[in-house]
Amino acid sequence: MDLLSAFSRHRLAVGLAVLLLPSLAPAAPDPADAARVFAEAEVICRRDGGKLWGQSLCGPILLVDYTDRSVVANVADAQGKLIASGKAFTGTLPESVIIANTPTEWSGVRWTQLLWPLPTEEAKRHVLLSHELFHRIQPALKLTRDEVGNQHLDTLEGRYLLQLEWRALAQALKAPTPAERRAAVSDAQLFRHERYRLFPQASVEEGHLEINEGVPEYTGVRLGLTDPQARIAFAEYDLSAFVQAPTFVRSFAYATGPAYGLLLDEHDPAWRGKLGAGQRLDQLLSLAMQLPDPDFATLKTRAARYDDGTLRSSEESRDSQKRKHLAELKARLVDGPVLIVPLKKTNRQFNPQTLQPLGELGMVYPTLRLTGEWGALQVESGGALLTQTQATVSTDGVNPSATEGDGWRLDLKPGWSVRPGDRAGDLIVVQTASQ
């Protein structure tokens, strides 16, 4: 459909905490431009009137420029840190507040924070606005879950089965008859449940992320667009665009959320009120359509409806290349000399589309800004490995007294320093004076 051409691949970053590099620096938000965005948000949430979720999406909005942390808000803050500028309010976000498309608690107000500039295409912009406005009220709706794992979606079988599911869901969305839609949804459920059979933890882990991000993305499509065909087109696009993401570990829910949500709207309009019971989107759709249990014996035959062999071959090639890349990352960030930074009381900015699981060793962030009580770590290339307790970057060839390496820079606050670690060549950030 022609509508799809308007959705550039930058759509992959919608609703995510995205690390913006200085080379991509935007112009600061102009109050007049900001006012137009605020007016659009007002139209969207008042058009809904709280009907979709039983609560209005209207609320405080912060538009933030990454380069200088300047902000334009639609309302005053509670502590008087913003200055009135016409109908808007302007100021500067302190270093302690993370910059991202995310709900933000600052100066006595819970905001919808949005990185400036917003998408220029109206459809993209309205979906983004609705998605992020929903995030602000999401905890009040008790629709937040603990996110864990999903590393099975970076395996050969996990990726392959997920893409088969996406293709089946796309078929279901555009199916011309109820029978064809039912067959395609049944196929999608088979591919999903085969994934759950192979990876027993997957049902919980995927279900949690689909609540956290799939439901907001569905809300963005449902409320940001008014034409039913435009909603279907956007959902179809999401199912194809996210194939380009380097990893599906966190991005998959942005693709499945709108598809399952729109199908549920048709088959069970009351589905949103059932999410609090712990049901997954796929479970609700199976119940609504009264689908039989998956027949795993038919998997190969039904997979052939969506793959002529090229998808499988492509994924096998990717898996081989990935194994080599993981070995290189392990040599660089685990086996080689590293700088160790504690993760206690830290905030991070990153692009989740690029995260690379390294098994039980942790998660590799190709680019990252990490801030904490010790200062800030900026990683622009080479990657950082994060575990539950620490971040590491390579110190290969770095002077023991230096705080800058290949692709990274460490800015320490007073009272903190770098000392030699337990292994030869390792460095560790430590507190040297009471704060």
Examine residue 31 and state whether it is found in any structural domain, yes or no.
yes
Average pLDDT in the 220-234 region?
98
Task: Based on the fold, state whether residues 137 and 181 are members of the same structural domain.
Answer: no
pLDDT of residue 434: 62
- On whether both 164 and 34 belong to a single domain, the answer is no
Question: In this structure, are 10 and 137 located in the same domain?
Answer: yes
251 domain residue, yes or no: yes
**Based on the domain organization, do 352 and 301 belong to the same domain?**
no
Q: Is the pLDDT of residue 50 over 90?
A: yes
Residue 324: partners with Cβ closer than 8 Å, 6 or more residues away: none
Residue 132 shares a structural domain with residue 246? no
Element (H, E) at 243: none
Q: Are residues 237 and 300 in the same domain?
A: yes
Q: pLDDT for 366-423, tens place per residue? A: 999 999 999 999 999 999 999 999 999 999 988 777 789 999 999 999 999 999 999 9
Question: What mean pLDDT is predicted for residues 108-123?
Answer: 96
d(CA 118, CA 72): 13
Phi, psi for 335 (deg, rounded to 5): -75, -35
CB contact set of 52 (below 8 Å; sequence gap of 6+): 219, 222, 223, 272
User: Which of 90, 123, 141 is a domain's end point?
Assistant: 141
Banded model confidence at residue 328, pLDDT cuts 50, 70, 90: very high
CA angle 189, 191, 195 (to 5 degrees): 110
Residue bearing the bigger pLDDT, 397 or 160: 160
Predicted local distance difference test score (pLDDT) of residue 20:
35
How many domains would you assign to the chain? 3
Residues of the domain holding 368: 326-431
Whether 292 is in a domain gets the answer yes
**103 in the same domain as 37:** yes
| Cα(206)–Cα(199) distance, integer angstroms | 11
Pairing outcome for strands 408-412 and 404-405: antiparallel
Instruction: Note whether 161 and 137 are same-domain residues.
Output: no
The answer to whether residue 197 is domain-embedded is yes
Has residue 313 been placed in a domain? no
pLDDT in tens, 64-106: 998 899 999 999 999 999 999 988 999 999 988 988 999 999 9
**Tokens for 34?**
């900001």
Pair (402, 272) in one structural domain: no
Is residue 252 situated within a structural domain? yes
Are 224 and 245 found together in one domain?
yes
Return mean pLDDT, the chain.
90
Among 107, 141, 175, which residue terminates a domain? 141
Point out the least confidently predicted range of 21-30, 225-234, 341-350, 373-382. Answer: 21-30
Whether 21 and 117 share a structural domain: yes
Model pLDDT, residue 28: 67
Given a cut of 70, whether residue 26 has pLDDT beyond it is no
Answer yes or no: is 312 within a domain: no
What is the token pair recorded at 185? 């949804």
Instruction: Mark whether 193 and 104 lie in a shared domain.
Output: no
Q: Which helix (H) or strand (E) holds 428?
A: strand 427-431
Q: Does the residue 62 lie in any domain?
A: yes
Picking from 141, 160, 189, the residue at the C-terminal end of a domain is 141
